[in-house]
Amino acid sequence: MTSILTNIAAMSALQTLRSIGSSMEDTQARVSSGQRVGEASDNAAYWSIATTMRSDNMALSSVSDALGLGASKIDTAYAGMESAIDVVKEIKAKLVTATEEGVDKAKVQEEIAQLQEQLMSIAQSASFSGENWIAGDAADVTVVSGFVRDASNNVSVKTTTYTLDSATAGEMTLLFGGNTGVIDDTSGILGTIGSAWTTTDFTIPSTGATTQGAGTAVANFSVYTLDINGFDGDAMAEALTLVDAALASMTSAGAELGSISMRIDLQEDFVNKLSDSLDSGIGRLVDADMNEESTRLKALQTQQQLAVQSLSIANSSSEVILSLFR
């Protein structure tokens, strides 16, 4: 039956054209955004997983920034410690030189005094972002080392602790101690006094003139305040022991800083790889296959053209009816 009121063929062609248009909109959206799951209505499960993973990836990015900041603090402290070790080595060499007969100890002491001032300069300068890990207050400092989501979906930030110690024998990590940021040159590895010395006659630097008798305890000295004027052979041996002990403590502290720095470098590399892995995982869930989408879009464009043609043919059937009345 042919009707001018109800054109079933045209209605069918129009419905097909609308369906193709809707499919083209979806395909064009995927092509323009590059995602096949751009919102929850596309695929609620994949969208939820991808959103959580993106959140974790942003946290990892912050962890990477924090690792960089921590690495800078540790690198600064390590550079300061390494430089201080070189200076104390020089002091040790000067002491060895001063043990030789006929050497002017006063001249050697002038050089040692300059090296001692350099030690303080290094300690004061080794600060990053207001934090000094080789001189100042004793405390436990931390650097961010990771971000973890466990099997129970709980999240946490992992840190590595480094102890700034200026008083514990055998465990000191600070060259000089301090209080509320003010450096104290009477504590720390370089400011800590040595054991009581029982040597023969020599001048006590703290008084400038006093001479101790043989077998009497001599005033205590630190690497930073060491003054060899008037020292005899026994006193020089004690001074060398003091400096060598300081070198051992500094080397131990430097090794600990180096090990933390190595761990942070490894963690930075791991975080970068983990971030790339998360990006890849998110992509597998929500990214559109552009080869597939471009092929689909081309097919839909062809179908749209055919649907338009079908609708045109269906609508032209009414014109045939007009010829019947001519």
For 299-315, b/e burial (b = at least 16 CB within 10 A) is ebeebbeebeebbeebe
Question: What pLDDT is recorded for position 213?
Answer: 39
pLDDT at 5 over 70: no
At 17-37, the pLDDT tens digits run: 888 888 888 788 778 777 888
Percent of the chain with pLDDT over 70: 88
CATH 1.20.1330.10 fits 44-286, yes or no: yes
Question: What pLDDT is recorded for position 162?
Answer: 92
State residue 298 phi and psi, 5-degree precision.
-65, -40
Q: What is the mean pLDDT of the chain?
A: 83
Residue 210's pLDDT band (cuts 50, 70, 90) = very low
At 88-115, the pLDDT tens digits run: 999 999 999 998 888 888 999 999 999 9
Which of 128, 153, 99 lies closest to 257, judged by CA?
128
pLDDT at 199 over 50: no
Which of 47, 83, 1, 13 lies closest to 282, judged by CA?
47
Length of the chain, please?
Answer: 326
pLDDT at 168 over 70: yes
pLDDT at 170 over 90: no
Percent of the chain with pLDDT over 90: 31
Is 221:230 a contact under the CB 8 Å cutoff? no
Residue 137's pLDDT band (cuts 50, 70, 90) = very high
Nearest-5° Cα angle at 118, 113 to 124: 130
pTM (predicted TM-score): 0.72
Going along the chain, which residue ranges are E strands? 127-128, 131-132, 139-149, 155-164, 177-179, 182-184, 197-199, 216-218
Better-predicted residue by pLDDT, 138 or 148: 138
How far are the Cα atoms of 4, 18, 19, 37, 325 from residue 314, in angstroms, in the given order?
Answer: 11, 15, 17, 37, 20
Integer Cα distance of 185 and 205 in angstroms: 16
314 beta partners:
none
